[in-house]
Structure 1
Amino acid sequence: MSAFKYIFQILLALNYVCTVFSNEKIVIVGAGASGIATATKLLENGFNNIIILEAECRIGGRIHTVSLNGTSVDLGAEWCDGQKGNVVYDKLEELDLLNMLRHEHFPVQFYSSSRSNISYEFSKELTNVFKMVHDGIEESTDSLGDVFQKRYNQQISELYKTKPEKFHIAQQANNYWAHLLLRTSGSSSWHALASKDPDYQNKAGHSPGWKYGYISFLDALMKKYPDTAHQLPIDDKIHLNKEVIKITYTDDSAPVTILCSDKSMYTAKHVVVTSSLGVLKQKVESLFEPKLDENKIKAIKNIGFGSVVKVFVTFNEKWWGNLPGFNFIWTDEDRAASSSKFQRGPRNQKGESWIVDIFYVFAIPDSNILLCYFTGEMVTLLETMDELILKDGLHYTFNLFLGHFYDIPKPLILIRSNWKSNPHFYGTNSFPSLVSTREDRRNLGIPILNFKEELVIQFAGEATSVNHYSSVQGAIESGYRAADKLIKLYKKT
């Protein structure tokens, strides 16, 4: 065989591989962080026959940046969680885009509903006690709430046994710590949380915020930022308002069929499902045909999935000055009296007003905007509560805690998240429940193969991450993992 013919056959073979790449259709369900990560990595590696089906009218999933009075605020994910071992931070550094982040200061000072003075020094001391207790918790069959309260109460009893006033404040701070831990987990109760997950890896370093909102990171992934001239050809591959209601697959090499709520249908050689765990929990029995295997169904049911409500309010002036925000400690007396003092809106199981769930207020830098978090049992009610009642309750609570320091005007514009009541999410993030095991997340992430051991359906998203769940980092890593499996598969072809 001549050298020319040999080279020609090699070129034909290479062309065949490229043809395979372009003809084998890949459908990605969800245009959130994991779906976009999957698509961008595939596009960068020569896969072009990709479709992304997104149920919402926008991309981003649980990343949702909106403009409020000209300021970008995040209704969903908001922090770049640490600077070491974080794929999000590493990607920005690789692209020389760390200028998209901003250093943010978090409130340290505690305020009491009784208006008794809590010094800045004691506020820092309380925070250090919390960190010491929380960091020292080991894996246990008891809930995080049970373990934390026991250790915390022992610690403050020893520290403040001769300081009854400090002990009383530290004791009442228990409710604050509960809300703080629920804010990061999304659980409705810290008694539903596993005490510790040894597989979870904390990201080291400060967690900065975003100058232009978290959506700017997805723009960077799609190479739309900083120069749209180099953007990936992804826009025409994203189909919005496409809620997937059925995924049908077989054990042979037949294509997977994806049916949407608008009756549109798609077929694909490979499918990557990035739907939230909340959606999988609600639809696991109807979404897949045939049904998923027992281990995967068990994982979906066992892993916790919760929600947090974020409420942004604007004011006609920045009455808090340069403070980064406030931490509120409710006294037992004020909690008990809350429903009679502020009678509008829902009450919790103890009969207390919803306002007792106002615990952490963060000042959005360079704006007249405050952010309040709500966690716990009344999340769904707070998402749908009358806006005027919500504004008045915030105003009443701010005055209760801070009215002796500030002349506080009424809030003007209010926007809030609705993740729990949105049927395309049913919540914000996964968490380790009392019944979930280390194997559950691994089982959730295991692909479905046909009898030829060919890759048919993959699962991605933060809930499938063993080490970095409940974070955008975990979602991105899972998307890259799904893309890598496909890239590796066709490199063998």
Structure 2
Amino acid sequence: MVKFDFIFAVFLLVSRIKIARCMDDAVVIIGAGASGMTAASALLEAGYQDVLVLEAEPRIGGRIHTVVSNGTKLDLGAQWCDGQKSNIVYEKLSEWNLLEMLRRDHFPKQFYHSDRRNISYEFSGELAGIFRDAEGELRDSTKNLGDALQERYTQVINTKYNKSQEKLRISRDALSYLSHLVLRTRGAASWSVAAAYDPDYYNKQGFAYGWKDGFSSFFDALTRKHRINDKILLGKRVAKIVYGDALTKNVPVKVICSDNSVYPAKRVIVTSSLGVLKENVESMFEPPVNASKLTAIGNIGYGAVLKVFASFEANWWGNSPGFNFIWSDKDKADATIKFPFGPKNSKGESWITEHFHIFAVPDSKVLLVWYTGELVPIIEKMDQEILKDGIYFTLNLFLGHLFDVLKPITILRSNWKSNPNFRGTNSFASLKTTDQDRRNLQEPIVNSLGEPLIQFAGEATSIHRYSSVQGAVESGYREADRLIKLRK
């Protein structure tokens, strides 16, 4: 009898250990983007079994979205692996012996003026260097990005080209190009709402690489050791996260989706975009998040850029990597009259005057047309024929004397701003953003023992690499490590 009691006691102890282990494993990850998939992969690698990923979209990837159009793989979202140094994406590919997935991309350096005056390759290189240096010399500036850059840029060109009226005129016209260039990385609707300088941000170091099979191939490499797809539920938009005293000790969090499905968890990792948090934070959490997190969500900037892929019957641009367009004020006014279709910006100028940077997709018949600024939400929904006509009009205006320009036959565009599951592309440092905001955003919601109940990941929570995939990946590992260390 004593022997039986001993065995029974051991059985109960082991059973309780298994139950406790199971509940510690019960992690729900919201979002199957770069940070969510990274966190899931790291937890499974560490031995976690009960991991569930809820994704609102009908696909995985988040703001990484590779599609195939007419046989060409195109990235509607994140596109480049930026730099070899201090880049966890590059480092992981190196660790996995998969660097052959990358290709060295060559960006267009040649500038073209709207009045077709000649801009030499040498002068184009000078302008590119001035753009790069102007943004790099804003250390300690407390001004907004627009005022600081205009002031610095104007000082440089007035000194450098004071003996050449032609170069001075072109470089002054190039100021609007500079605004689009910096907004392409910031994502803000205007450069007047972005901070000129963020001391915490680490710029990329090294070359920018493209992906031979699209950025989504990174997920294949990330998840190859584990059957993560078996852990993902698609089409699950989270409506509410209930946590705290209202629930039991063993199930301290419940995730409720818009289809009324409920998923209990011991821990939750939220990787929703900052745009989604801005729109839903007050209704998403019960009880509400604390004031510091609410302030951080409000203070950190979040915006959008738009990518339009224009496909042609033939590659009419040859070996050119693409084009950079500089508009004069006169030509902007003339173009607005000659092409009156579609929206106008707050200055009354046609949307086609927002064309500034066109990138040739390697080994294809496709040009990537970038849009930034206030008209992004409108151009996302604009009539396709007007979009094709406007692109054709602009290409002819700038390049018709050099190339036999064709009209696009198909258009493929992103819709990050209008998509309720993203509401934009990336975060940025706004004039309201403080040094503490991103730290407050990544701070977990904890229980009475100080253990995390709800954690936060995603590029917006990265202090040094926000607005990038590498920042999102680092945040996924950060939150997975938080749980792994807690269990140990």
- Corresponding residue number in structure 1 for 2:107: 106
Q: CA deviation at 1:11?
A: 13
2:420 maps to which residue? 423
| 1:394 match | 391
TM-fit CA distance, 1:262: 0.8
Q: CA RMSD in A?
A: 1.6
Residue number in structure 1 paired with 2:96: 95
One-letter amino acid of the counterpart of residue 86, structure 1: N
Q: Deviations over 1:391-416 (max 9, x none)?
A: 00000000000000111111011100
Aligned to 1:244: 238
Residues 154-183 of structure 1, C-alpha deviations (whole Å, 9 max, x = no match): 111111111011000000000000000000
> Aligned partner of 2:154: which letter?
N
Deviating more after overlay: 124-133 vs 246-255? 246-255
1:311 aligns with 2:308: yes
How does 1:348-367 map onto structure 2 within 5 Å?
Answer: 348-367=345-364
Task: Name the CA distance, whole Å, in 2 between partners of 1:80 and 1:438.
Answer: 26
Q: For 1:208, what is the secondary structure of its paired residue?
A: strand
Deviation for aligned residue 1:18: 6.4
TM-score, normalization: structure 2?
0.95
User: What code does the residue aligned with 1:70 have?
Assistant: G
Question: Is residue 2:320 matched to residue 1:323?
Answer: yes
Of the three residues 428, 433, 440, the one matched with 1:443 is 440
1:200-238: per-residue Cα shift (whole Å, max 9, x none)?
112211010000000000110001xxxxxxx40211210
CA distance 1:407–1:489, change in 2 (3 Å): same
How far, CA to CA, are the matches of 1:362 and 1:488 in structure 2?
45
Specify whether residues 13 and 413 from structure 1 end up closer, same or farther in structure 2 by C-alpha distance, changes over 3 A only: farther
Number of the residue aligned with 1:376: 373
Q: Provide the rounded CA distance (Å) in 1 between the counterparts of 2:424 and 2:334.
A: 31
For each residue in 1:112-171, what CA deviation from the matched residue of structure 2 results, as whole angstroms up to 9, or x when unmatched? 110111000000011111122221111222101101100110111111111011000000
Instruction: Tell me how far apart the structure 1 counterparts of residues 390 and 175 of structure 2 sit (CA, whole Å).
Output: 22
Q: Does 1:182 align with 2:183?
A: yes
Query: Is residue 212 of structure 1 aligned with residue 213 of structure 2?
Result: yes
1:353-377 CA-partner distances (Å, limit 9, x unpaired)? 0001110000000111100000000
Paired residues for 1:77-88 under 5 Å:
77-88=78-89
* CA pair 41-164 structure 1, distance change in 2 beyond 3 A: same
SS of the residue corresponding to residue 453 of structure 1 reads coil
Structure 1 residue 123 and structure 2 residue 124: aligned? yes
Deviations 1:255-312 (A, max 9, x none): 2111111111111010000000000000011000111000000000000000000000
- Secondary structure of the equivalent of 1:384? coil
1:196–1:11 distance in 2 versus 1, CA, 3 Å = farther
Instruction: Report the counterpart of residue 152 of structure 2 in structure 1.
Output: 151
CA distance in 2, matches of 1:13, 1:488: 24
The 3-state SS of whatever aligns with 2:74 is: strand
Percent of matched pairs sharing the same residue: 56
The question of whether the paired residues in 2 share the 8 Å contact of 1:52 and 1:237 is answered with: yes
The equivalent of 2:226 in structure 1 is 232
Give a deviation string over 1:419-474, Cα, whole Å, max 9, x none.
Answer: 00000000000000001101000000000101122210000000000000000000
d(CA) in 1 for partners of 2:122 and 2:191? Answer: 28
Q: Are the structure 2 counterparts of residues 14 and 154 from structure 1 closer, same or farther at C-alpha, using a change threshold of 3 Å?
A: farther
Partner residue in 2 for 1:226: none
What is the CA deviation profile of residues 3-46 of structure 1, one whole-angstrom value per residue up to 9, with x for unaligned ones? xxxxxx99999997666443431100000000000000000010
Is structure 2 residue 338 aligned with structure 1 residue 337? Answer: no
Pairing 1:32-43 to 2, within 5 Å after superposition: 32-43=33-44
Question: Are the equivalent residues in 2 in contact too, given 1:337–1:352 (CA < 8 A)?
Answer: no
The answer to whether structure 1 residue 471 and structure 2 residue 468 are counterparts is yes
Residue 227 (structure 1) aligns with: none
Structure 1: give runs of 5+ residues left out of the alignment.
1-8, 224-230
Give the drift of 1:66: 0.3
The answer to whether the Cα contact below 8 Å between 2:183 and 2:190 also exists between their aligned partners in 1 is yes
Q: Which consecutive unaligned segments of at least 5 residues does structure 2 have?
A: 1-8
Q: Which residue of 2 aligns with 1:22?
A: 22
Letter in 1 for 2:75: D
**Residues 93-120 of structure 1, C-alpha deviation per residue, up to 9 Å, x if partnerless?**
0000000000110000000110111000
| Cα distance in 2 for residues equivalent to 1:55 and 1:484 | 25
Is contact 1:21–1:46 with CA below 8 Å preserved after alignment?
A: no
What SS class does the counterpart of residue 370 from structure 2 fall into? strand
The answer to whether the Cα contact below 8 Å between 1:361 and 1:373 also exists between their aligned partners in 2 is yes
Give, as a single letter, the amino acid of the residue that structure 2 aligns with 1:337.
D
Instruction: Tell me the CA shift for residue 63 of structure 1.
Output: 0.3
1:114–1:334 contact (8 Å) kept in structure 2: yes
Select between 17-26 and 154-163 the one with higher mean Cα deviation. 17-26
Compared with structure 1, are the counterparts of its residues 240 and 134 closer, same or farther at alpha carbon in structure 2 (3 Å cutoff)? same
Contact 2:142/2:197 (<8 A) preserved: no
Where 2:177 maps in the other structure, the secondary structure is helix
Pair 1:459-2:460 in alignment: no
Distance 1:256 1:165, change over 3 A: same
TM-score (norm 1): 0.94
**331-340 or 77-86: bigger deviation:** 331-340
